[in-house]
Amino acid sequence: VQFAQDHGMLLRGHTLLWHSQVPDWFFTDPKDSSKPATREQLLKRMETHIKTVVGRYKGKVYSWDVVNEVISDSNGLRGSSENSKWKEIIGDVDGDGFDSDYIELAFKYAHEADPDAKLIINDYGLESTGRKRTDMYNLIKRMLEKGIPVDGVGLQMHISIYSPSAKEIEECIELFASLKEYNPDFTVEVTEMDMSVYSWMQQKKEITNELLERQASRYKEI
């Protein structure tokens, strides 16, 4: 934070809520670690965590990835089968039939801690056409319709020289940009872009000038 301030740099906070790298105790009963925490206990811990971190850096971090990688690779929101316990424990708090309440509350807590910070929902695999992109769009649209302070979506953009196409990426950006209908300041951000010269699970190969030129050409195209 000090380095960013000393050099006139914008600082992004990543990430307040994730399924990975959360200590086990966060999801357990404080009196019996063999039992899960209650909804109320987990919500209180989540609120304390978010407001402590965001509050500490209020006015110094211009943008937060509030929640990261919440969309499942198989269907809907990531659950316990994908090592995420947020949804199972917190569930549908407001009774609207959707179990995305922990995401909505995370944004509310972050906004309360720093009303001026941009609040982003970040994920991978949105660049390609498919269910995951649609699920994220529907989630954000529903939150915006409820007045949840979502300021943008972050596209991690871990891609390769083989896919997705520039056209798919453009379609993705345009789809999420249409959410400006609900929030005129809604932004679509590329947050972690890298482009592999390997296809998925491909074994080690010789990296030729032809591959590197293809990579450079793809960067330019995108």
Q: Is 69 assigned a catalytic role?
A: yes
Q: How far is the C-alpha of 107 from the C-alpha of 151, rounded, in Å?
A: 10
Active site residue 185: no
CA distances from 96 to 47, 141, 204 (A): 21, 15, 49
Exactly one of 65, 69, 114, 127 is catalytic; name it.
69
Selecting among 47, 88, 171, 192, the annotated active-site residue is 192
**Dihedral sign (CA 103, 123, 132, 182):** positive
Element (H, E) at 138: helix 131-145
The neighbouring-strand residues paired with 155 are: 123, 190
Catalytic residue among 65, 101, 104, 123: 123
The DSSP string of 76-94 is SB--GGGT--HHHHH--SS
Task: Look up 123 and say whether it is catalytic.
Answer: yes
Catalytic amino acids?
Answer: 69, 123, 192
